[in-house]
């Protein structure tokens, strides 16, 4: 994994009770960055959902129809 300068800012942001949305083109390292942040969060109170997986999209699609 290539360490990016933005990781320092993102790690500092973990202290806040805000949501950060990470967007970008395909295959630029968004998922890798999120996994890195979750490993270094200092707690295990998190969940990672890969919305590229069909079964995850189906869960959200079906729950919105009810």
Half-sphere exposure of 29 (CA within 13 A, CB side): 10
Per-residue exposure over 4-21, b if at least 16 CB sit within 10 Å of its own CB, e if not = eeeeeebeeeeeeeeeee
**Per-residue pLDDT tens for 7-64?**
888 888 888 888 778 888 989 888 888 888 888 888 888 888 888 889 988 887 865 5
Query: What are the φ and ψ backbone dihedral angles of 33, each rounded to 5 degrees?
Result: -65, -45
The pLDDT assigned to 64 comes to: 56
Would you say 4 and 33 are in contact if contact means Cβ atoms under 8 Å apart?
Answer: yes
The pLDDT tens digits for 20-35 are 788 889 898 888 888 8
Q: How confident is the model at residue 1 (pLDDT cuts 50, 70, 90)?
A: low
* Res 23: pLDDT: 83
């Amino acid at each position: 994994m290539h360490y990016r300068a933005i990781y320092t800012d993102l790690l500092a942001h973990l202290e806040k009770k805000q949501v950060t949305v990470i967007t970008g083109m395909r295959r630029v390292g968004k998922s890798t960055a999120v996994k890195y942040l979750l490993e270094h969060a200092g707690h295990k109170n998190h969940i990672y959902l890969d919305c590229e997986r069909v079964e995850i999209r189906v869960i959200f699609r079906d729950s919105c129809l009810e």
